[in-house]
Structure 1
């Protein structure tokens, strides 16, 4: 039996949610190895698994309970056309984490907002990334 709720706008919405066991992001990039190195060595994400067989190459990193999968993309224009996103990593101390990235050769732009601080940077494929202060998140 399905459980549904009819809202004033006339739409039906189920009250039972889909059981998601793990969530992840897949980054398709022409700079596959540079991105693997960046997320492993600069951000120090833990490698969960890697596949490197003819016609099948990918690396998957732990992303704080979710995962980031990196796969090669042969068409740079197609990869860039799919990048209207920013990967954000919440950290306890944006300033200290930014300094660690700078020491690893990453260009970081620190920004202060009314709700906290962010540090903006890009991976080798041009994917926008940011650190965000944990304080006040979700409030």
Structure 2
């Protein structure tokens, strides 16, 4: 059984991403496998939401979630080109889509309140990212 929660780092995909960054193994290329198909599987959605939160931590001075508290994000920050930010916006849009996202479907199955508890913060973060990428 995997980790599951509405926070950006409360799941397996995000945990793997955090571990990769912590070990110094992270590159954007290392996660592209999760976004290759037209239908976005749960790992891709979880990674997109976690990446969104990390960008907001380093670019919008958002308070760090305890899961990311001790991460050295210097190499992550240096990889944030305008192209990567545009790509991330697209991946988060796919994640919150009701038609092509397994993560959306899993939250939708839980009911409207649970869906909103996950989706509303992601949509708000996406809007913040759009402002940052202008």
Q: Same fold by TM (over 0.5)?
A: no
Which protein, 1 or 2, shows the higher relative CO under an 8 Å CA cutoff with sep ≥ 6?
2
TM-score (norm 1): 0.29
Query: If each structure's strand is expressed as a fraction of its own residues, which one has the higher value?
Result: 1
The structure in which a higher percent of residues are helix is 2
Query: Larger C-alpha radius of gyration, 1 or 2?
Result: 1
